[in-house]
Chain A
Amino acid sequence: MAVLSEEQSMLRDAAKAWTQEKSPVRALRGLRDSRSDHGYDTEAWNEMAQMGWAGVIVPEAYGGSEFGFLSMGLILEELGRTLTASPLLASGLAAASALTLGGSEAQKAEWLPKIADGSTIATLAIDDGPHHAPERTALAATASGDGYRLNGRKTFVLEGMAADLLVVSARGPKGIGLFLVRADAAGVNRTRLQLADSRGAANVTFEETPAQALAGGAGLLDQVLDRARAGVAAEMLGSASQAFETTLDYLKVRVQFGQPIGAFQALQHRAAKMFTDLELSRSAVEAALAALDVDSPEAPELVSLAKAKMGDTFHLVSNEMVQMHGGIGMTDAHEAGFYLKRARAAEAAFGNQAYHRDRYARLQGY
C-alpha cells in the first residue's frame, strides 16, 4: 500500500466500510439473478455519488474534489474487492477524463458537474470488434454543419445501457479522435450484452448520428484510455487481493488427510508465488496511478506495465481460487466463479496482457 495522505486514508476507510456493508459479493449475485437492466444498483450508485466518489478526479471548478488518480484508485480497489458493479470507472474516471482533457469550456460546463454529482452517466465507446485496437477504429465521423455525423458500430461499451452520454472514438477528416454523443440522439441503437461477469455493457450502432468533437485527436484518445486502464487495474488489484485472501482462508480451514490442506508444501509454494505476484502488481498499479497524478511522461509505459502485470496476476489468482477450493469452487453457490468471470472481463477491458506487452515494447523502441 502506497504511503497515503490523511484524506486518502479516510477515503479508503470510507470506501472499505461502505462496500463491506452495502455491497458484498451477494449484491452482484442479486443483480445477475434479477436480470437488472443497467447491470448495477441505482440506489447504491446514488449513495456512492452522495459520498462524492463520482467527482474525485473532476476539477473543483466543475463540482469535483480534484483528489486525483491515486485517490480514485483506492476507491476502485475497494469496489473491486467485493466485485461491486457501478458506473464509477466508466463515468467518473474514463469519461470525466475525456471531458477534462479534451472538452471545450462549454462542454465541460454542460457535462462535468452532472458527472461529478452522479446524475449523468457517461462512458467510453472504443472497440469496433472483439479485440482492443483503438488505433484501427473504422467508425466514421464526417463533418456536418458545425458538428459531425457518426456511422458505424462499437462493442463492449461498459455501462452502455445506462449511459446518458457516449464518448466515441472515430476516424474523422483529421484522423482519429473522440466525439461526444447523447445516448438519445438520432440513429443510436443499443443492445444489452449478457456477459459472463454479469456487468452492464452494450453494443451500440450509430447511423447519421449527430456528434461534437473533443479537442486533442489520437493523443487525447491515448491519454483517456490510459486513465481508464489504470482504473481497471486498480479495481483488479482489489478483486485479486480478495480472491487470494478468501483462498488463503480456505487453505487454513479445509481439512483433508487429517490436516488443513494449507500445511501441504505443494499448496504453500503456490500461495507464496501468488502473494509475490500480488505485491509486484500492487507496486505497478500504484506507480501508474501516481504517474498520472503528476502527468509523468513515463505514464503510458507505466500504465501498460500495470495493466499487463495485474492482468497476469488476476488471471493466475482467479484460476487458483477455483482449483484450491476444489469441487465447491466449481459450484455457482460459491463466490469463486464470480471472481473468475470478472477476471477475464477485466483483463479484456481496454487491452489485455498481449496488447499491453506489445505497446510497452513499442514504446521502448523494439
Chain B
Amino acid sequence: MADLGGADGPAFRVQVRDWLKANYPPELRDPARTDPEAVWGGRAFVGSDDPQSVWMRRAAERGFTAPAWPRDYGGGGLSPAQTRIVEQEIAAGGYRTPLASFGVWMLGPVLLEYATEDQRREHLPKIVRGEIRWCQGYSEPGAGSDLAALATRCEDMGDHWLINGQKIWTSYADKADWCFCLVRTDTAKKHEGVSFVLIDMTSPGVETRPIRLISGDSPFCETFFTDVKIPKGNLVGKVNAGWEIAKRLLQYERQNISGGFGGGGGAGGIAGDLGKIAADYVGLDETGRLADADLRSRITRNKMDFRALQQTIARVAAESRASNGPNAATSIIKYAAAAMAQERSELMVEAMGAQGLGWAGDEYSPLERQAVRGWLRSKGNSIEGGTSEVNLNVIAKRVLGLPDPK
C-alpha cells in the first residue's frame, strides 16, 4: 500500500482521484449488473466475483472502506482532512460507496475506544474488508425510547454467557453475520445493569423474522435468542458498564442518519427537485408560477428549510474543524431533518395528485410507486434512531440547560 500519510493538499486529492478512476469496476456504472445487497458485504459475498465485491476488496486494500481508522487494524490511517477528501472524491465521481456497514459506521468506533486489543484485532480487520456484516441488537418490544428498560438476559455460566430474550427493529438481522447487542447482566439496577456483547448469528438458538411495514417489505427484523451460548471474551468493556458504550454508539448512529438526510432524502425519501416534479404534475400558470398557489408556498418553505439544513451541516463541519470542540447546532440536525423529510414526502404525493396514491401496477410509474412507499416509510424518520420527542428533550436539557421536573 502506498504511503497515504502526510500530504492533505491538492496532491493527495489528485492521487485519490487517479486511484478511483483506475480501480472502479466499469460494470458498476450499470447498476443492473450487480447485486445491490453486495454493497453490505458479509459472508455471503466474500470471495465472490460480483463487481461490487471486487470494488469493496480493492477499496479495503487501499484503506478506503474505513479511511480514518488506524492502519494496525486495516484502516487507511488518514487524517480527518484526508478522510474528507476521499469522501468528497467518491461522491463527486459518482462512485458507489465501496462498503455500507454498521460495522464501519457504529461498532468500529466504539471498539477502538472500549475493546481489548484482542477484540480489536479479531473484529476490526474483518469489518474493514467487509467479511463480516453486523447488525444492531438494541430495541426490544418493551424498550423503545426508554432503551435502558431492556430485558434480554445475559447470565454468567462460568465458562460462557447464556443469552435469552427478544430484540426488535434489528435492521438486516436476517442477512447479518454477527450482532452487537445490549443485554441485561443485573436485574436489580437499570442503566448500571446493562452490558455490551457480540453474538455470532450462526449460534444455535438465534432466530430472525422480517417485519412488514405500512410501506411494504422492510429490512427490519425481530430477533429471538433462546439459550444462546457465547464465549466469555465476547463482552466489550466491563460487566454492567455497557450503557456508556451504548450511548456512544448511538451518537455515531445519529451522525450517520443525519448525514443521510442532508441530501434531501432520509429513509423513504426519493430524489428529485420537488418544484420541478410539482410543475410536471400541476402545471404552471401564465406568469410561470405553479398553478396551485397554496402547494407552491408549502413546497417553497420545505425547499428553503432543506437548504438551511444543508447550510447548517456545512457550518457545523466548518466550525468543528476550526474549534475542535462540540457544537450545539449538531443537536438539532436529526430532529430538523426528520421533520423536513416527512414534509417533503407528503408534498411529493400531494403534488402527484391521484397518481400519488398508487400502491402497485403498471398504471403508476416507478417514481410514483416509490413516492407512495417513501411517504409511508418516512413516518419512521421521527421514530428511528431516537424519536423526535426524545431529540427535543435532549436539546432542552443538555443544550438549553432547562431543569428536570420535580
Contacts and interface: CB of A to CB of B under 8 A. Distances in A.
Contacts of B300: 357-358, 360-361
A248 B401 CA distance: 9
A287 interface: yes
A263 B406 CA distance: 8
B322 interface: yes
Contacts of B397: 268
A184 interface: no
Interface in A155-208: none
B400 interface: yes
Contacts of B275: 361, 364-366
A88 B303 CA distance: 32
A259 B405 contact: yes
Contact of B399 (A275, A281, A309, A361): A275
A252 to B, nearest CB: 7
Of the four ranges (under 10, 10 to 19, 20 to 34, 35 or more), the interface on chain A belongs to 35 or more
Contacts of A283: 308, 311-312, 314-315, 329
A271 B403 contact: no
Contact of A272 (B312, B400, B405): B400
Given A305-B307, A305-B308, A3 B318 contact: yes
Nearest to B328: A279
Nearest to B296: A361
B201 interface: no
A358 B285 CA distance: 14
Given A3-B318, A268-B397, A362 B305 contact: no
Contacts of B308: 280-281, 283-284, 305, 309
Nearest to B307: A305
Contacts of A357: 297, 300-301, 304
A230 interface: no
A305 B319 CA distance: 22
A251 to B, nearest CB: 6
A309 B304 contact: yes
Given A276-B335, A287-B311, A1 B396 contact: no
Contacts of B289: 358, 361-362, 366
A12 to B, nearest CB: 15
Contacts of B278: 366
A275 B396 CA distance: 9
Nearest to B406: A259
B118 interface: no
A366 B296 contact: yes
B403 A260 contact: yes
B272 to A, nearest CB: 13
Contacts of A309: 304-305, 308
A284 B311 contact: yes
Interface string A261-272: 011110111011
Interface of A: 1-3, 248, 251-252, 258-260, 262-265, 267-269, 271-273, 275-276, 279-284, 286-287, 305, 308-309, 354, 357-358, 360-362, 364-366
28 contacts: A3-B318, A3-B322, A248-B400, A251-B402, A252-B402, A259-B406, A260-B402, A262-B402, A265-B396, A265-B405, A268-B400, A269-B389, A272-B392, A272-B396, A275-B332, A275-B399, A279-B312, A279-B332, A280-B308, A284-B308, A287-B311, A308-B304, A357-B304, A360-B300, A361-B290, A365-B276, A365-B288, A366-B278
